[in-house]
Chain A
Amino acid sequence: MATSKDMQTAQQTTRATSGSLVVERTGPLALIQDAGRFGVRHLGVAQGGALDWISLGWANWMLGNAPGAAGIEIAIGGLVLKAERTLRLAIAGADLGATRDGEPLATNGSFMLEQGQVLAFDQPKAGLRAYLALPGGIGAEPFMGSLSTVAREQLGGLDGFGSALQIGDRLVAAKASSETRDMPSVAAMPQDEAVLELVTGAQIAHFDGASLFAAFNQAWQVDSRADRMGVRLTGPELRCQMGGMVSEGIPLGAVQVPPDGQPIILLNDRQTIGGYPRLGALSPIACARLGQCAPGTTIRLSPVTPHQARTRYRHQLALWQ
């Protein structure tokens, strides 16, 4: 994504030891993520990065960080962190029932965590992934320009080898102090239904008319087979007349349709090339929304042009200027 350049500057900030958090308990999956890894996809390296880059951006914004500075992507909850030194933090995204020493915290907001206090995430009340920002981002050594953790590729994260956060891990803020800004009210997390904008293109002309009508007029369900590589949708069977396809580069949000006719939306940890026909790709804003959709969520796909998607994307970036 275009914000990659901002992020790299954030990571180059010198490492400071002015505030740190220790992992006391891990949930299903807590990962260090930033905007992702760029300029290396031709080497087979995945993009990675925060699925809901908008929520990471807001968490960073509240502390005056670059929108793509590295933070923690907390999926489903369960993470418990203790402050070794007092520091300001910000959270945004899913409501995972976050508490400070047992007292509920706002879903989107910044707060001080005093030395010895405990920040705990419980379980999802709305959305799937919460993002935690530290002053200046997380001080650690980037690999290929990013701290993003891609487990499958054994890249990124605290150790550089793709590990999720472990009990005893120490997260160091990249800066001693930060600004504090209040977050404006933003779109609510998707609950039961989400409309996702799809930039049409790629092999869409090879799908039959009834399939195209169904794709944009019928409801889809988010399947339980969903992770950072891709999210499977179930619904009407889409038919493509295309025979074999030669593998080609796959953009973020690509909506590919394997022979079973059920689409898979390819997200940040997708492989770099693939050979299934595609309807196009979700807009980056839609990808961020999808990252918050629990299995069973109803999805409606709405066709947009690249120009419309770009206008909305730039509007989002402008909010952080």
Chain B
Amino acid sequence: MNLSPSPVLSNSFRMETVGMDALMVRLFDAIDEAHMPWILAADKALRERLGEALIDLVPSYTTLLVHYDVETLSQIEASRLIREALQNLQPASTAAGREHRIPVWYDDSVGPELSRIAERRNVDTDEIVRRHSGRDYCAFALGFSPGYAFMGMIEEALATPRLKTPRQKVAAGSVGIAERQTAIYSMRSPGGWNILGRTAVKLFDRERDEISLFRPGDRVRFEPISREAFIEQGGDTTPLEER
């Protein structure tokens, strides 16, 4: 049996060769929050079935990358375990992901795009804050930097393209939007998202048992707070550099 390079169809998912020791499990083709219970269920089932032979499992919006141990498994064996794991898969309950409330100081000094987006839409900044903090978001995938979660979907009316020129430095805790997604910068890094505010919550904290606050599938809600509350929580009020 030669799996490479054509996709193997089995039930409702595809399995694709992506490297010597990696198979891509593709469950869906487009981004949709409704997919997450399936991705989470697949994540759990694959971890259980592959056990010690699993080196890394990277879930994303529509896929799970399975990096397995080639010292113990051939590709044929790995693909058999994956098929077994995903047989009769049932979506995880929405309670499978944890819930987080993230306090955010929405302000132009730390979120320069707040008023720009408001102006462009002819509303005041409070309206933007109300809309951004008015719904739960789903953490689709972690990446870009440790603990950084790609979350969505934000309201269609808030959707904004990335900055044409990314900033060289975006402060840790910066809360941004891009297209219909939102995220928090987990560490100071370059970045091109539109920044609306800042949180004092640490997304990646080596002093904490759970080093990464978020895991794929978690649900997140932003909570507007005052400057005073932000400072009380240990927030850094240094204005965000323009570029």
Which of A17-25, A37-45, A223-231 is near enough to bind chain B?
A: A37-45
Within 8 A of A (CB), among B54-84: 55-65, 67, 69-71, 74-75
Separation of A249 and B30 alpha carbons in the complex (Å): 15
Separation of A143 and B207 alpha carbons in the complex (Å): 11
What is the CB-to-nearest-CB distance from B48 to chain A, in angstroms, rounded to a whole number? 15
Residue B24, interface by CB 8 Å: yes
- Cβ-neighbour of A42 out of B4, B16, B215 (below 8 A): B215
| CB nearest neighbor in A for B61 | A246
Main secondary structure of the interface of B (DSSP, over half): loop
Residue A317, interface by CB 8 Å: yes
Residues of B in contact (CB 8 Å), total 53
> Which of B74, B143, B147 has the most chain A CB atoms closer than 10 A to its own CB?
B143
Which of A8-16, A118-126, A308-316 is near enough to bind chain B?
A: A308-316
What is the CB-to-nearest-CB distance from B160 to chain A, in angstroms, rounded to a whole number? 17
- Cβ-neighbour of A249 out of B17, B60, B149 (below 8 A): B60
Residue A219, interface by CB 8 Å: no
Give the total number of A-B pairs whose CB atoms are below 8 A apart.
162
A201 and B142 contacting across the interface, CB-CB below 8 Å:
no
- Cβ-neighbour of A199 out of B20, B141, B142, B206 (below 8 A): B20
Residue A278, interface by CB 8 Å: yes
B17 and A42 contacting across the interface, CB-CB below 8 Å:
no
Interface size, A (range): 35 or more
Within 8 A of B (CB), among A218-259: 246-254
A254 and B19 contacting across the interface, CB-CB below 8 Å:
yes
A44 and B56 contacting across the interface, CB-CB below 8 Å:
no
Could you list which residues of chain A lie within 8 angstroms of chain B, going by C-beta atoms? Answer: 1-2, 4, 38-47, 143-144, 152-155, 160, 199-202, 204-205, 246-254, 271-274, 278, 280-281, 283-284, 305-307, 309-310, 313-314, 317
A248 and B65 contacting across the interface, CB-CB below 8 Å:
yes
A317 and B71 contacting across the interface, CB-CB below 8 Å:
yes
- Cβ-neighbour of A246 out of B31, B56, B71, B145 (below 8 A): B31
Given contacts A39-B55, A247-B61, A251-B18, contact A306 B75 (CB under 8 A): yes
- Cβ-neighbour of A205 out of B6, B69, B211 (below 8 A): B6
- Cβ-neighbour of B20 out of A144, A204, A306 (below 8 A): A306
B4 and A249 contacting across the interface, CB-CB below 8 Å:
no
Residues of A within 8 A of B211 (CB): 43, 144
- Cβ-neighbour of B4 out of A199, A278, A284 (below 8 A): A199
Residues of A within 8 A of B17 (CB): 199-202, 280, 306
